[in-house]
Amino acid sequence: MRFLLVEDTAELARSVQDLLRLNGHAVDWGATLAEAQDCLAAASYDLILLDIALPDGDGRRFLQGLRRSGQDTPVIMMTARSAVADRVDALDGGADDYLTKPFDLAELEARARAVLRRRGGAAQTVRDFADLTFDPLTATLTVAGEARELRNRELRLFEIFLGAPERIFSKDQLCDRLFSFAETVTDNAIEVYVGRLRRKLDGSRARIETVRGLGYRLTATA
Amino acid sequence: MTDQPPSPALPPRPRVARVVLTGSLRRTLVLQLLVVAAVVALALFIAIRISADKAAEAAQDAVLGAATQSLADGIRAEDSAVDLDLAPITFSMLSAMGEDRVFYRVDFAGQPMTGYVDLPPPPATPGGAPQFYTAPYRDHVLRLAAVTRRMLIDGKTVTALVVLGQTRLGQKAIADSIASRAALLGVGFFILAVPLSLLAARAILGPVGRVTEAVSRRGPHDLRPVNQSVPRELGPLIGALNGFILRLRGALSRTETFIAEAAHHIRTPLSTVRTEAEIALRQSQEEGTRARLRSVIRSVEESSRSAGQLLEHALVLYRTDRVDRAEFDLGALLAAQVQSFHPTADLREIALVYSAPQTPVPVLGDRLMIEAALRNILDNAIKYSPGEAQVEITLTLRDGRAETRVCDRGRGLGGSDLVELSQRFRRGGNVADIVGSGLGLTIVLEVAEASGGSFALSPRDGGGTCALFSLPLR
């Protein structure tokens, strides 16, 4: 996905960009509303991550301006204040969702996906691998014309593999992205989800391969 | 109270202010009114007594004067002799006053001629009109009247003095009977004054009682100014009270702003820490480092959650003071809340099953506060649910109340009850591995109390917990 991050705290903006890029997203950054305006004029984005308090104005006011000028890119507001009143204001002001800092990247992705799904999605998000087609918004995998629905963790697991085919992911790496840090995860949890994903891939040329002692990778048989 | 100094290890206990009560306004007022009533009763008695004496004396004087005149008129000078006619009518006239004894004396030219010659003479020589005086005589006190008549005897003018005296028993009896009635009247007046002064004191002090009741009936967070109509004299007191309430509200509102600002300043750097830690975790292979980074992320989540809930708690406390009520559709609010929790629940493959009546569910309350309560209930249910479980959210109408029931398949209450769990910063004994601040249930309970609703947690059959948040319907 292509994100526009509008956030004035430079350190936070930099690390959020790094993290989003690690997950395979493209991110542009605007430190002010003016910079954000320039970015929007130059490129199109799947989603705007908009802070409320910015040096040159209120993000909510900016959003109202965007909506009035016909710019309907989905917007997720983020704020450190988290007061109920702020949340209501943001949603009433045309935001698609609302996140409180600090946020979990997995939650951000989940919310972004939910917003895009609600908005009808963008066609270019559909990806092909070997003989299958994957639509992350509808969480469907089409194998030889047959649609198979993925559950949330299967979907995220498949996205990780699909982001870097042939690359070996260790159990820890998968764990980091699949489970919240507040959860206690048993050792075989990853095996469970890999097993389920494999069943969904049945009959396809794509398969999840166990690399003994290292982890798993997505590969395709010729 | 003992003189023992408090143990230094313990913080000083908050002391309830002790008001020193000096006397009672009501008692003072009643006593003063009664003293006034007693003085008035006494004055009434004395006034009646004096005028009764005067009236009795005047009545006796009138009869005595007339009798004396009539006696004097009965003296006839016949050449050299004098004829005294003691007409019975003269004395029967005197018996009108009662069983009083009568004495008379007639002098001619300064010489006693007849009657009781030792009867006290008048202090000065009277004229043709009777002169009245009072004098003691033979163990009695007499009321006397004296008149003089000039007559010719042997060609010489001779002055005849007629003195008539009467004991005052009849007069005293009349005066006494009037006085005893006056005393009865005074006592009656005083007795009547007792309940009247009690009523007056109650009426005067009534507004004080009403203001006290209005203030003491308020909930702990009700900081509206007192707008009772009170007498002018109580105005300054109510003004001072309202001024104090206003300052207290200001202090509370500044605290809320401060917490909001503080939350902002804490959360922004925390976000950087969290994101950086997550990046470092992604890039690290070393197990020890990874474990440390995980614990960093957990702590960051814990502190940011606490910051958020402190803010929310402050908001709830602040808003309960304002009583900002409006009618809204609880169904729509709950549906939106459930909707916003879907992505979070999805991450752990928890299904949120929501059912509500098709029609709107109108409730009266502070929308923001109730939203905060619902978020906390949903957050709790999802947080404590095991992955791939189901959380059921049902909104039902029963007995004029809108009941929101949120049931999970979590680990239950761990033997604690709601009273324990809803104490600030208190968490169940079985949740050490789940991030939380211990303020969530406190917030829900405070909102329920402030909205005239109720909140209860109960164990669910087959494991888990059901939260019941009930609000009165509009």
CATH for B372: 3.30.565.10
Mean pLDDT of chain A: 87
Please check whether residues B403 and B421 belong to one and the same domain: yes
For chain B, the domain total comes to 3
Provide the token pair at A69: 């000028």
Rounded CA separation B137/B143 (Å):
10
* C-beta atoms of B271 and A80 within 8 A: yes
Domain match, B272 and B315 both: yes
Q: B241-267 pLDDT, tens per residue?
A: 899 989 988 887 787 677 777 777 888
pLDDT given at position A82: 57
Q: How far apart are CA B208 and CA A38, in angstroms?
A: 67
- Cβ separation B371–A88 shorter than 8 A: yes
pLDDT (tens digit per residue) in B285-305 = 888 998 899 899 988 888 888
Q: What average pLDDT does the segment A100-110 reach?
A: 87
Residue corresponding to tokens 């409730």:
B363
Q: Do B208 and B244 fall within a single domain?
A: no
B387 in contact with chain A, both atoms CB, cutoff 8 A: yes
Do B307 and B362 belong together in one domain? no
Q: Do A183 and B348 touch (CB under 8 A)?
A: yes
* H or E element, residue B65: helix B25-73
CA angle B450, B453, B458 (to 5 degrees): 120
- Residue B253 domain-assigned? yes
A69, A21 contact by CB (below 8 A)? no
- Strand ranges (DSSP E) for A43-113? 47-51, 53-54, 57-58, 75-79, 97-100
Cα-Cα-Cα-Cα dihedral sign, residues B48, B50, B53, B56: negative
Query: With contact defined as beta carbons under 8 Å apart, do B338 and B354 qualify?
Result: yes
Q: What token pair was written down for A155?
A: 């979907």
Residues B357, B277 share a domain? no
What tokens appear for B311 in the block?
């803010």
Query: Is residue B12 a part of any domain in this protein?
Result: no
Contact B279 A100 (CB under 8 A): no
Complex confidence, ipTM: 0.84
**Which residues contact residue B211 at a Cβ distance below 8 angstroms, ignoring those fewer than 6 apart?**
B226, B228, B230, B234, B237, B238
DSSP β-ladder status, B465-472 and A26-30? unpaired
Strand B102-108 relative to strand B156-167: parallel, antiparallel, unpaired?
Answer: antiparallel
Q: How many residues does chain B have?
A: 474
**B 50-79 residues inside an 8 A Cβ radius of A:** none
CB atoms within 10 A of CB B399: 8
Give the mean model confidence (pLDDT) for residues B159-185. Answer: 86
Task: Give CA separation, A71 vs A67, A68, A108, B191, in Å.
Answer: 5, 7, 22, 89
Distance CA A108, CA B374 (A): 22
> Is B315 close to A113, i.e. CB distance below 8 A?
no
Contact B71, B105 (CB under 8 A): no
Give the nearest chain A residue to B269 (CA atoms): A12
Question: Hey, of A3, A25, A82, A178, which one would you mutate to test binding to chain B, going by the most B CBs within 10 A of its CB?
Answer: A82
pLDDT at B119 over 60: yes
Judged by a CB distance cut-off of 8 A, whether residue B447 touches chain A is: no
Q: Is the residue at B11 inside a domain? A: no
- Residues of chain A with Cβ-Cβ distance to B352 below 8 Å are none
Residues A153-158: contacts with CB within 8 Å, 24+ apart?
Answer: A153/A178, A153/A193, A153/B349, A154/A193, A154/A196, A154/A197, A154/A200, A156/A106, A156/A109, A157/A193, A157/A194, A157/A197, A158/A134, A158/A197, A158/A200, A158/A218
pLDDT at B49 over 60: yes
Which range is least confidently modeled, A22-36, A114-128, B94-108, B122-136? A114-128
CA distance, residue A42 to nearest chain B CA (Å):
28
Interchain contact, A110 vs B343, CB within 8 Å: yes
The CA–CA distances, whole Å, from B174 to A128, A138, B56, B184 equal: 132, 118, 7, 16
In single-letter form, the type of residue at position B458 comes to: S
Q: Which pLDDT score is estimated for A11? A: 92
Taking the model in full, what pTM does it have? 0.64
- Which of B267, B272, B349 has its CB closest to that of A151? B349
Give the strands of the sheet with A127-129, arranged side by side. A127-129, A132-135, A140-143, A146-149
Given this model, what pLDDT does residue B5 score? 43
Is A12's CB within 8 Å of B344's CB? no
Residue type, B375: R
Q: Does residue B280 belong to any structural domain of this protein?
A: yes
Residues B423, B445: one domain?
Answer: yes
- Residues B390-405 have a mean pLDDT of 94
**Contact check, Cβ <8 Å, A103/B271:** yes
Question: B70: closest CA among B94, B54, B51, B50?
Answer: B94
**Category of A94 on φ-ψ map: left (φ > 0), alpha (ψ -120 to 50) or beta:** left
* Cβ–Cβ under 8 Å, residues A76 and B359: no
Interface of B with A in 255-294 (CB under 8 A): 260, 263-276, 278-279, 281-282, 285, 290, 294
The half-sphere exposure of B138 on its side-chain side, counting CA atoms within 13 A, is: 11
**pLDDT tens by residue, A124-151:** 678 888 889 998 888 889 988 889 999 8
Are B329 and B399 within one domain? yes
- Closest listed residue to residue B114, CA positions, set B152, B158, B162, B66: B162
- Measured CA to CA, the distance from residue B383 to residue B345 in angstroms comes to 9
Of B271, B297, B322, the domain-final residue: B322
- Is B242 a domain residue? yes
- For residue A101, the model assigns a pLDDT of 85
pLDDT of residue B225: 85
B17 in a domain, yes or no?
no
CA of A82: which chain B residue's CA is closest?
B308
Interface residue B377 vs chain A (CB under 8 A): no
Please give the backbone phi and psi of residue B275, each rounded to the nearest 5 degrees, phi first. -65, -45
User: Count H helices, E strands: chain B?
Assistant: 9, 14
Q: What is the DSSP letter of B360?
A: -
Residues B297 and B404 in one domain: no
Does B15 fall in a domain?
no
In this prediction, residue B466 has a pLDDT band, given cuts at 50, 70 and 90, of very high
B5 within some domain? no
Which of B286, B307, B322 terminates a domain? The answer is: B322
Q: Which residue has the higher pLDDT, B225 or B362?
A: B362
CATH code of the domain containing B309: 1.10.287
Q: Do B278 and A113 touch (CB under 8 A)?
A: no
pLDDT at B156: 81
Inter-chain touch B285–A16, beta carbons under 8 Å:
no
Q: Which of B217, B241, B274 is where one domain is finished?
A: B217
Query: Contact, A80 vs A101, CB < 8 A?
Result: yes
If you average pLDDT over residues B308-322, what whole number do you get?
Answer: 76
Is the domain of B270 the same as that of B416? Answer: no
- CB contact (8 A) between residue A85 and residue B348: no
From B323, B309, B345, select the one nearest B444 (Cα to Cα): B309
Tell me if B146 sits within 8 A of B129, measured CB to CB. no
Q: Residue B82 has what DSSP assignment?
A: E
- Could you give the CA distance from residue B474 to residue B470 in angstroms, rounded to a whole number? 13
Shortest Cα distance from B461 to chain A (angstroms)? 25
pLDDT band, very low/low/confident/very high, at B174 (cuts 50, 70, 90)? confident
Is the bond into A102 cis (omega within 30 degrees of 0)?
A: yes
What are the backbone angles phi and psi of residue A131, rounded to the nearest 5°? -100, 20
Task: Give the chain B residue whose CA is nearest to the CA of A53.
Answer: B264
| Cβ(B413)–Cβ(B465) below 8 Å | yes
Q: A15 contacts in B (CB within 8 Å)?
A: 272, 275-276, 279
**B238 and B311 housed in the same domain:** yes
Report the alpha-carbon angle B225-B227-B228, nearest 5. 135
Contact (CB, 8 A) for A62 and A50: yes
Position A163 confidence tier, pLDDT thresholds 50, 70, 90:
confident
Backbone CA torsion sign across B226, B229, B230, B234? positive
Do B199 and B340 reside in the same domain of the chain?
Answer: no
Give me the residue from B264, B340, B434 closest to A81, CB to CB. B264
pLDDT, residue B307, reads 79
Q: Which domain holds residue B110?
A: 23-217
**Does B64 lie in the same domain as B150?**
yes
Mean pLDDT across the stretch A35-60? 91
Question: Is there a contact between A219 and A166 (Cβ–Cβ < 8 Å)?
Answer: yes
